[in-house]
């Protein structure tokens, strides 16, 4: 008999596997390794001098203290709001639940800096909303939100949906019989919550809290808009100012600061991992539909409370933002005769950087989404269906750039790309490519998750059938696997697009002339005092985000359950 036929068909598999391993290592392990190396060996030689200098500086510790204060404060507020809303929406029979979830989760999909500006416009002396009501603080007085309390308030509202989503998924996964058994045993609703729900829901709640803490800690847009005016610096804004003020010369010190904030975030990440065993409730929702407790005469008051919360935390700030976007100049009262679309015309057509930013943000978000899908579809294929051990380990590393604060990745990328690339001989620093690299690295995990759950829900014999028909790996990927995971991949691509489109943290540190993003232009309008232009730009980005969120509801039925956080 002839010998076994040569392993021709395995070549594609091996080549693709190595390529994927290399790409994902470059995106996740290499930048972070470079950052840690810089902190320990500034300029290439081992030295604790820089670490000592940074750690003995008062600024470092005041920013660290501020970071902890606003992160813990924001987390507490988010926990109170998020868990109360999760209990009400999941366990009771309130009406219009889908609509409420969509609206409540919306801030998570909007740019934090735009939300912060909306709050500034609502509460400040030039607030057209308060002005119209005659309640505005006197002109010249300080906006009450320019304070640690203001940062905590906006962070808390922004990230309450994280606690909500985590806890809600936990509640839905809880066997309904446990509640019914307690009710049958004679327990009243509040006793049920106290004795059954709270003890069982402690792990998902704490996981949501940990996730929320990491997000508050890493947020740049909110403390940038609310803290910088009064020089209340947190670690991300301190890193930003150091880099903007001194340039990349002090990179070693900045690297130490990045490792510092990364280490604090790691505490939260490890806590969350430990509590959830790496299940992420943002995208892996439970499937069971909980039967709800009838509120009877309390239903209307609870519904009014829920929607009032939305009125004050979303509708009024966004209305203020919309009104500011219509004023001809800051301070001019808004009425039918003064309202103008000049701000929109200016940012859309007249301002060069804004026009470039639209092209850059749309282009880079779409490119990042596309590239991540192209990486994640084969990557998840090997990880889930082929159970390739190397890639299952690698998929843990892909979480790091997403979970860690954005400044950490941005500084790591600067260190990696400051020097000219070997072979090519040019530097990616100060080009648009370094931002795109960071987008792909940072949002890879975001795209990977829905695709992984897509593979879990598909029947692998569909691939085996094409294999038996003689199709090699690349053909199977193209003709069978990709079409099957396409809905999940589209959901992932959309999450990436929305997040990258509204992104500021990474691009604020990496932008250069010609490589502005919408976040950067928005931020510079606001810093330059052009709040009306910033508002118009913010309104436009909100319009894009909300339209895309709504558009997904059309094909939501074909998606694995729970991949779109705003769809219940």
- Among 543, 538, 546, smallest CA distance to 103 is for 546
String marking each residue 1-20 x if it binds other proteins according to CB under 8 A: xxxxx-xxxx----------
Q: Provide DSSP, 144-168.
A: TTSSHHHHHHHHHHHHHHHHHHHHH
Least distance CB 384 / other proteins (angstroms): 16
Give the residues across from 398 on adjacent strands.
none
Which CB sits closer to other proteins, 273 or 463? Answer: 463
Between residues 47 and 461, which has the closer beta carbon with respect to other proteins?
461
Give 351 or 475: the residue with its C-beta nearer to other proteins. Answer: 475
Nearest Cα neighbor of 347 from 535, 118, 533, 539 is: 533
Measured between alpha carbons, how far is 446 from 430 in angstroms, rounded to an integer? 26
Identify any residues that bridge with 293 across adjacent strands, giving them in sequence order. Answer: 92
CA 443, 168, 306, 216 dihedral sign is negative
Name residues contacting other proteins, limited to 465-494 (CB under 8 A): 465-472, 475, 479-480, 483-484
Contacting other proteins within 10-69 (CB under 8 A): 10
Structure tokens at 391: 């890639």
Q: Minimum distance between the CB of residue 474 and other proteins, rounded to whole angstroms? A: 11
Residue 317 · residue 119 · CB < 8 Å: yes
Nearer to other proteins, 15 or 48 (CB): 15
Minimum CB–partner distance for residue 532 and other proteins (Å): 49
Q: Does 464 bind other proteins (CB under 8 A)?
A: yes
In eight-state DSSP terms, residue 92 is B
Q: How far apart are CA 329 and CA 327, in angstroms?
A: 6
- Which of 194, 558 has the CB closer to other proteins? 558
Build a one-symbol-per-residue string for 376-405: x at contacts with other proteins by CB under 8 A, - elsewhere: ------------------------------
Q: How far is CA 329 from CA 128, 135, 319, 338, in A?
A: 11, 20, 17, 10
Judged by beta carbon, residue 194 or residue 460, the one nearer other proteins is 460
Tell me the closest approach of the beta carbon of residue 200 to other proteins, in angstroms.
33
Task: Tally the C-alpha atoms within 13 A of residue 43's C-alpha that lie toward its C-beta.
Answer: 9
Task: Tell me: does residue 292 bind other proteins (CB under 8 A).
Answer: no
For residues 431-460, which are near other proteins according to CB under 8 A? Answer: 459
Taking the least distance from each CB to other proteins, the nearer of 469 and 550 is: 469
CB of 495 to other proteins, least distance (A): 23
How far is residue 372's CA from residue 334's CA, in Å, rounded to a whole number? 44
CB of residue 457 to other proteins, shortest distance in Å? 13
CB of 398 to other proteins, least distance (A): 28
Smallest distance from the beta carbon of 15 to other proteins, in angstroms? 14
3-state secondary structure of 67: helix
549: left (phi over 0), alpha (psi -120 to 50) or beta: alpha
List interacting residues with other proteins (CB under 8 A).
1-5, 7-10, 459, 461-462, 464-472, 475, 479-480, 483-484
């Amino acid at each position: 008999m002839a010998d076994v036929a040569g392993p021709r068909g395995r070549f594609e598999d091996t080549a693709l596997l190595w390529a994927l391993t290399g790409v994902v290592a470059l995106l996740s392990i290499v930048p972070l390794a470079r950052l840690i190396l810089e902190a320990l060996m500034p300029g290439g030689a081992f030295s604790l001098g820089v670490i000592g200098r940074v750690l003995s500086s008062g600024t470092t510790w005041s920013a660290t203290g501020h970071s902890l204060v606003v992160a813990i404060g924001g987390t507490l507020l988010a926990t109170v709001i998020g868990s109360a809303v999760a209990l009400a929406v999941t366990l009771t029979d309130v009406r219009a639940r889908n609509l409420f979830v969509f609206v409540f989760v919306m801030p998570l999909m909007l740019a934090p800096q735009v939300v912060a500006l909306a709050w500034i416009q609502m509460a400040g002396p030039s607030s057209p909303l308060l002005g119209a009501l005659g309640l505005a603080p006197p002109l010249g007085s300080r906006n009450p939100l320019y304070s640690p309390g203001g940062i905590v308030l906006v962070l808390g509202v922004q990230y309450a949906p994280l606690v909500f989503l985590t806890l809600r998924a936990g509640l839905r996964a809880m066997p309904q019989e446990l509640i019914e058994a307690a009710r049958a045993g004679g327990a009243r609703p509040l006793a049920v919550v106290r004795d059954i729900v709270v003890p069982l829901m402690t792990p998902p709640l704490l996981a949501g809290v940990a996730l929320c803490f990491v997000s508050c800690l890493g947020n740049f847009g909110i403390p940038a808009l609310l803290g910088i005016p009064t020089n209340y610096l947190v670690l991300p804004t301190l890193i930003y100012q150091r880099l903007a003020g001194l340039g990349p010369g002090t990179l070693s010190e900045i690297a130490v600061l990045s490792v510092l904030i990364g280490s604090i975030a790691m505490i939260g990440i490890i806590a969350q991992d430990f509590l959830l065993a790496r299940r992420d409730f943002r995208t892996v929702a439970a499937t069971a539909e909980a039967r709800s407790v009838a509120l009877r005469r309390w239903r209307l008051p609870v519904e009014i409370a829920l929607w009032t919360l939305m009125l004050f935390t979303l509708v009024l700030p966004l209305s203020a933002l919309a009104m500011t976007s219509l004023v001809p100049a800051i301070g001019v009262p808004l009425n039918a005769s003064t309202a103008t679309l000049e701000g929109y015309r200016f940012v859309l057509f007249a301002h060069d950087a804004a026009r470039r930013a639209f092209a850059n943000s749309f282009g880079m978000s779409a490119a990042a989404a596309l590239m991540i899908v192209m990486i994640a579809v084969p990557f998840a294929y090997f990880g889930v269906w082929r159970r390739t051990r190397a890639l299952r380990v690698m998929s843990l590393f892909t979480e790091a750039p997403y979970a860690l604060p954005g400044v950490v990745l941005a500084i790591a990328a600067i260190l990696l790309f400051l020097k000219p690339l070997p072979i090519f001989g040019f530097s990616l620093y100060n080009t648009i490519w370094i931002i795109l690299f960071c987008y792909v690295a940072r949002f890879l995990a975001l795209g990977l998750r829905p695709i992984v759950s897509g593979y879990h829900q598909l029947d692998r014999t569909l691939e085996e059938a094409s294999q038996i028909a003689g199709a090699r790996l690349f053909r199977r990927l193209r003709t069978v696997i990709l079409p099957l995971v396409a809905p999940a991949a589209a959901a992932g691509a959309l999450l990436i697009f929305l997040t990258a489109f509204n992104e500021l943290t990474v691009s604020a540190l990496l932008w250069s002339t010609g490589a502005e993003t919408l976040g950067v232009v928005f931020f510079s309008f606001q810093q330059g005092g052009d709040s009306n232009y910033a508002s118009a730009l913010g309104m436009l980005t909100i319009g894009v985000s909300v339209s895309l969120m709504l558009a997904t509801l059309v094909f939501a039925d074909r998606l694995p359950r729970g991949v779109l956080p705003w769809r219940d």
